[in-house]
Amino acid sequence: MRSLQRPGRSPVLAPHGMASTSNPLSTQAAVTVLQNGGNAMDAAIAASAVQAVVEPESTGIGGDCFCLYSEAGSDKVIALNGSGRAPMGLTAEWLLKQGISEIPQQSPHAVTVPTAIDAWVQLNRDHGKKSLGDLLQPAIGYARDGFPIGQRVEADFAASRELILGDTDLSSLYLKNGDNYKMGDRFINENLAKTMEAIAEHGRAGFYEGWVANDILKKLNSLGGVHTQDDFDAAVANYVTPIKTNFRGYDIWECPPNGQGVIALMLLNIVSGMDKFGNHPISLERIHHEIEAGRLAYRDRNLYLADPEFSDVPVTAMLSSEHADFIREQINPNKALDTLPESTLPKHKSTVYISVVDKDRNACSFINTVFHNFGAGILAPESGVILQNRGQGFVVDPGHPNCIQPGKRPLHTIIPGMATKDGKTVMSFGVMGGEYQAFGHMQFLTRLFDYGMDIQEAQDTPRFMPDPFSDVVEVEEPISNELRDGLRALGHNIQPASKPIGGSQAIFIDWETGLLIAGSDPRKDGCAIGY
C-alpha cells in the first residue's frame, strides 16, 4: 500500500463496470455507455471516438486500431488487427529512385491506409449491443461544440509545434492565432464532427467512400502520395489468432505480428528466469538486467518482425525457452554489452489505450493511434482528419523482411494486452508510448506479479527505456543521480527522458470478491471510473 501522506493515486474499485482511459472525458463517455445498457465493446468504441477528438495528437480516425476481447469473463480471447497497409502503388524500388532510403515523418509515403474505422465497424457489428451511430454521439458533440485542452495535451501540442507548422491545413486548425493552445482553451473541430456524422449515418462507407475519402485522397495526392480509391476500398481489419506465454501462473495474451506483442512475451520469458535483486525494481542490478534484456529483445524485433502475410516471422522460436535462456546468458551482470551478439533465431532476408470491463465481465483491451504526435503531420482539411505515419515502421531495403511492399502492413508498435488464469479473464491492460510498449508490458507485469505492487503502483513506478535504434537509455526524473551514475559506470548511455515515458491503463477482475480494481497512469490526464 502506498503512503497516504504522499501524492499519488489509489486503485479504483467498483462492483459493476469500469473504464480506464487517458482522458476523463473519454472515461466518462465509456461509463455512461455501460450504465445505459452498452457492453464493454460499445464503451471502448465510444471512448476511442471521444479520444480521437480530445487527444488528436495521439489518436484519430485517420489511424489504426488493435483489440483483444473476451466474452463473459472466459479465457477465449478474440484478437483483431486493424492496422493499415501501404498503398498498392508504393514500392521500395520507386522510393529509392526518388532518393528516399528512409521514409520521413511528414511525408505522404508515411501514410498507410487508415483502418481504425473498419475495425470499429466490425467490432461493433460482431460484439456490440448499441448502434455505431449512437456510440459516436459524445465524440461528435465534443468536436462540434468544443472541449477544454488538458495539461498533457497542451504539452504534446507545444512539443509538436514545428511539425504543425509544416502543414498549412494543420497549423490553421491546431494553432490559435499562431500561438500554441494552452490548458483550458476551448478547441473545436467542426469538420471532424461532420466526418463522424457521416460515419454515424453511413457506417464504413461514410469514411472510405464519398466526400471524406475524396478529401483525404486529394490531400495525399497533392503532396505526391500514390494512394487511390482502390486502396481505401481494400482497407479491411482482420480477426487473427492471439499469441500467449505463461508468466507467474497467468496466461498473457497479445496480438500476433505485425504488432510487437511477441516482443513483450519474449521479454516476459527472459525476466521469468531473472533475479529480482531485492524487493523493489528500481535498483542498480535490476535496471541493468532489464535494459540489457530489452536491448537484445528489440534487436530481434528490428531484425525479424514484419507482416506475416509477406514474411515468415519466427514467432515459435522467438517465444521458445531456449531463446530466452540464450538471451539471459548474454547479459553480463557487471558491464553493458558493447556489441550485441548475433541472434540465434532462424535467418531470413503516441497512442491511446482503453480498458473496459462490464457487468457481465466482458473485457475489452483496445488501442488506437496515429503513431507519432500528430501522425504524419498531414491534415485533410475538409474532413478534419489527421493522417497517421505508420509507414515509417517500414524499412526501405528490399532484402529486409520488413521492407515496404504494396499492400503490406508495417512493423507496428501498438499492443493491447490481456491476462487469463484458471479459465477466466483476470485483467485487461495496455501501455502507450510507441516503441516503449513491449518493454512497458514487461515492466508493468513484473511490478504487479514479481514485486507485489497494486495495479496503480505498478503504473506509477519510475520508468526507463533502451532506445531500439541506438545505445541511449532514457530514464525518468525520479530515478536518482546515484542510480544514473551507477548505470553509466556499467557502460550505459544514460539520458534524461525528454517527456514522460509512456502511459497505461489496467482493470483487474477479482473473481473472489466480485470487484473490479483499476489504475490509470498519472503521466496522462486520464482516470479510471467505475460504478
Mean pLDDT across the stretch 261-279?
97
Dump the DSSP string for 462-509. Answer: --EEE-TTSSEEEE-TTS-HHHHHHHHHTT-EEEE-SS---EEEEEEE
Q: What CATH number does domain 15-260+305-312+348-463+502-531 carry, 3.60.20.40, 3.40.50.300, 3.30.365.10, 3.30.70.890?
A: 3.60.20.40
Query: For position 344, what pLDDT does the model report?
Result: 58
The C-alpha atoms of residue 521 and residue 433 are separated, in whole angstroms, by 12
Mean pLDDT of 264-286: 97
As a whole number, mean pLDDT of residues 461-468 equals: 96
How many Å apart are CA 515 and CA 508, to the nearest integer?
8
> How far is Cα 428 from Cα 426, in angstroms, rounded to an integer?
7
| Predicted confidence band of residue 6 (pLDDT cuts 50, 70, 90) | confident
- Above 70 in pLDDT, residue 197? yes
Contact status, residue 192 vs residue 212, Cβ threshold 8 Å: no
Confidence band, pLDDT 50/70/90 cuts, at residue 350 = low
From the centroid of its chain, how far is CA 310? 23
CA angle 346, 293, 101 (to 5 degrees): 60
pLDDT mean over 392-414: 94
**What does the pLDDT look like over 74-108, one tens digit per residue?**
999 999 999 999 999 999 999 999 999 999 999 99
Q: Per the structure block, which three cell numbers stand in for 196?
A: 463522424
Average pLDDT, the chain: 96
- Report the pLDDT value the prediction gives residue 339, as an integer from 0 to 100: 84
404 with 398: CB under 8 angstroms? no
Which residue from 42, 388, 288 is spatially nearest to 50, judged by alpha carbons? 42
Is residue 5 over pLDDT 90?
no
Entry pTM: 0.95
Cα 10–chain centre separation: 24
Q: How far apart are CA 331 and CA 490, in angstroms?
A: 12
Percent pLDDT > 70 in the chain is 98
Written as one letter, the residue type at 85 is R
Over the stretch 369-391, which tens digit does the pLDDT of each residue have? 999 999 999 999 999 999 999 99
Between CA 323 and CA 390 the distance in angstroms is 29
Q: Which of 417, 444, 427, 420 is nearest to 501 (CA)?
A: 444
Task: Kindly state the average pLDDT of the residues 326-340.
Answer: 94
Residue 342 confidence (pLDDT): 67
Given a cut of 60, whether residue 348 has pLDDT beyond it is no
pLDDT of residue 190: 98
Q: Cite the active site residues.
A: 351
8 A C-beta contact, residue 90 and residue 103: no
**Predicted confidence band at 345 (pLDDT cuts at 50, 70, 90)?**
low
How far apart (Å, rounded) are the C-alpha atoms in residues 231 and 180?
35
Residue 437 binned pLDDT confidence (cut-offs 50, 70, 90): very high
Return the percentage of the chain with pLDDT > 90, whole number: 95
The per-residue pLDDT for range 276-328, each reduced to its tens digit, is 999 999 999 999 999 999 999 999 999 999 999 999 999 999 999 999 999 99
Neighbouring CB atoms inside 10 A of 312's CB total 11
